[in-house]
Amino acid sequence: YLVMDYYVGGDLLTLLSKFGDCIPLEMARFYLAEMVMAIDSIHSMGYVHRDIKPDNILLDRCGHIRLGDFGSCLKLREDGTVCSTVAVGTPDYLSPEILRAVEDGLHSYGTECDWWSLGIFAYEMFFGHTPFFADSVVETYGKILHFKEHFRFPLSAPEFPAEAQALIEGLVCARETRLGRNGVQDFKEHPFFAGLDWQGLRDCSPSFVPEFANATDTCNFDVVDDCLTDMETLWDVIETSPLGVQLPFVGYSYTYTAVKQKDPQESDPGPIAMEVDPAGKRPPGGAQETPPGELACKLPDGPKPEQPLFLELQAALEAELKSRERLCQELSVVKVANQTFASQLKDAESRNVELEAQIKGLKEQIEGMKATSQQGKSSVPL
């Protein structure tokens, strides 16, 4: 992973932020169709992605998508499922079957979790937010586990197409009835994609084509801070990392912010130029070339850790990480259980208030009947 493709178009999360609450219907239709093809290609290779979200959907220089971040992928077993007790991925996009597997350690799940995430993203495309957003992760998990009670469309949604609503409802639902069980065919037959040329999808012109100055331009990404100091880029990482995690990389360090341009006027394409057209077309303004000697900086040679000591530290680190992982899993289970109990308690309190109101009303009716009866007796002549 030291050298990877760079896509100048940015990601879909940044694109969504540019459009505000929602993106145009045809644009959403195009991106969802390409995401269906991308997710299906992962599944056809025998893997489940488990982290489908707009941050991981990149745009190339032409505006077509590229699926990225395969760190959470798992190889499917022969029965088409995986078994994992770790809640990988981003909370808002996790499927209920992943959370149940974490909760009890017994459940397994398959590719259906990726289609759920696609449904969450489709919802976000049209309404500007995810359906189970909450102030805390635990509350979000609780809403996802009880999605039948919490999933709803905004009442103020303007002119929301029925086909789009049917698509989202077909994805954010029970795994037994979720779209994608039959692969990409479920989507090709869906009314939302009616008339779409699936075969020519990669050859069509996208509605949005990113603008960029050169092959390494970052204008389409949200850059928080591109002026980090050497101390921030190196020591902040070292201090926040577990003890021993950097041992395999002693003697090597590289930061892109350390790259210096000798001559700003030079316009020759650099060694990191990406997505260059094979026919010879290059994005306008080509990347500047930087001497290889300035791309990496070596830490001063120091005493190398002895092999036995290194192995001992590595074993201790692995044991500590496993212990921490178990504690996190137990804590997650307890939090979800507490959230479920709190939800049930709230429902019970609401029901109790309703019953008290009914009892009060019945008492008033009884008192009224008694008063009427007493008046009737007093009016009877002796």
pLDDT for position 248:
55
pLDDT for position 275:
43
Residue 51 bears catalytic tag = yes
Give the active site residue among 11, 40, 51, 114: 51
- CA dist 174 and 237 (Å) reads 41
Beta bridge partners of 175: none
Write down the residue that tokens 């190196």 correspond to: 234
- CA dist 29 and 159 (Å) reads 16
Q: Which amino acid is at 276?
A: V
Integer CA distances (angstroms), 275 to 61, 264, 268, 290, in order = 7, 22, 16, 19
- CA dist 61 and 59 (Å) reads 7
pLDDT for position 298:
43
pLDDT string in tens for the chain (382-residue length)? 456 788 888 899 988 888 876 788 999 999 999 999 999 999 999 999 999 999 999 998 899 999 998 888 999 999 999 988 887 878 999 999 999 988 877 788 999 999 999 999 999 999 989 999 998 888 999 999 999 999 999 887 667 889 999 999 999 999 999 999 999 999 999 999 999 999 999 899 888 888 888 878 888 887 665 555 444 444 444 445 555 555 555 544 444 444 444 444 444 444 333 443 444 444 444 444 444 444 344 444 545 556 677 777 777 888 878 877 777 777 777 777 777 777 777 777 877 888 888 888 888 888 888 887 777 666 555 5
pTM of this structure: 0.61
Instruction: Output helix, strand, coil percentages for the chain, rounded to the nearest 5.
Output: 50, 5, 45
- How many other C-beta atoms lie within 10 A of the C-beta of residue 179? 23
